[in-house]
Copies of this chain bind each other. A is one copy, B any other.
């Protein structure tokens, strides 16, 4: 299934670059604010359109944490997250869920498991220590 041909625009590459470089899992609004510094005429609608497009192409990922709006993640490898409820920081984690666990659920359900999302919530080291 050949998808519509995509053109390369300043707007699109800036959006990709921002998300890829960001370590903060930015929201669309945050990407927009950063993008404006490099390309003042860029519009929020364009940021949204490109975020979806890039996510569809697998070049970035959409992630959503409790109580937050949609965020974007430049880390495209499979991974998990930790969110601090005190300072809000989101840390990327390597895969911790054993493949055998996924396989076992899959066969128990008789379903196909294509992916999963695993988010840990709590208090990060820094906040834990400053609260002590």
- In the complex, identify which listed stretch (A16-24, A25-33, A120-128) lies at the interface while the others stay far away: A120-128
Partner of A110, one of B98, B109, B128: B128
B110/A121 in contact, CB under 8 A: no
Task: Classify chain A's interface size.
Answer: 20 to 34
Nearest chain-B residue to A119 (Cβ)? Answer: B117
> In the complex, how many angstroms separate the beta carbon of A46 from the nearest chain B beta carbon?
21
B119/A116 in contact, CB under 8 A: yes
- In the complex, identify which listed stretch (A6-14, A37-45, A71-79, A100-108) lies at the interface while the others stay far away: A100-108
Given A93-B105, A97-B97, A101-B98, A116 contacting B125 (CB threshold 8 A): no
Which residues of chain B come closer than 8 Å to A102, judged between CB atoms? 120
